[in-house]
Amino acid sequence: MKDLYKTIAEVFRMKVEDIHDDLGPGDIENWDSLGQMRLICALESRYRITFEIAEMFEILTIGDIKKILTRKGVR
């Protein structure tokens, strides 16, 4: 899961060092509904997984993404 912050930084055009688990859509300028879909697509591609619709709605913070990835077996 070491590439998670890098993927998020690429999607939202941020510095990796500015990313932490408590950040969510209210904290990241481009994290709107379209940004959410871009992030999901990037994560699915990077980790070769598929997010269920319900899981997409679970994502309120970067920490939530980590929890979902862990459930899907991503390390």
Domain tally, the chain: 1
Inter-residue contact 59 to 48 (CB < 8 Å): no
pTM for the predicted model, two decimal places: 0.92
**What's the domain range around 42?**
4-71
- Would you place residue 1 in the very low, low, confident or very high pLDDT band (cuts 50, 70, 90)? low
CATH code, domain carrying 62: 1.10.1200.10
In this prediction, what percent of the chain has a pLDDT beyond 90? 96
Inter-residue contact 64 to 54 (CB < 8 Å): no
66: which residues sit within 8 A by CB, 6+ positions away?
A: 1, 4, 21
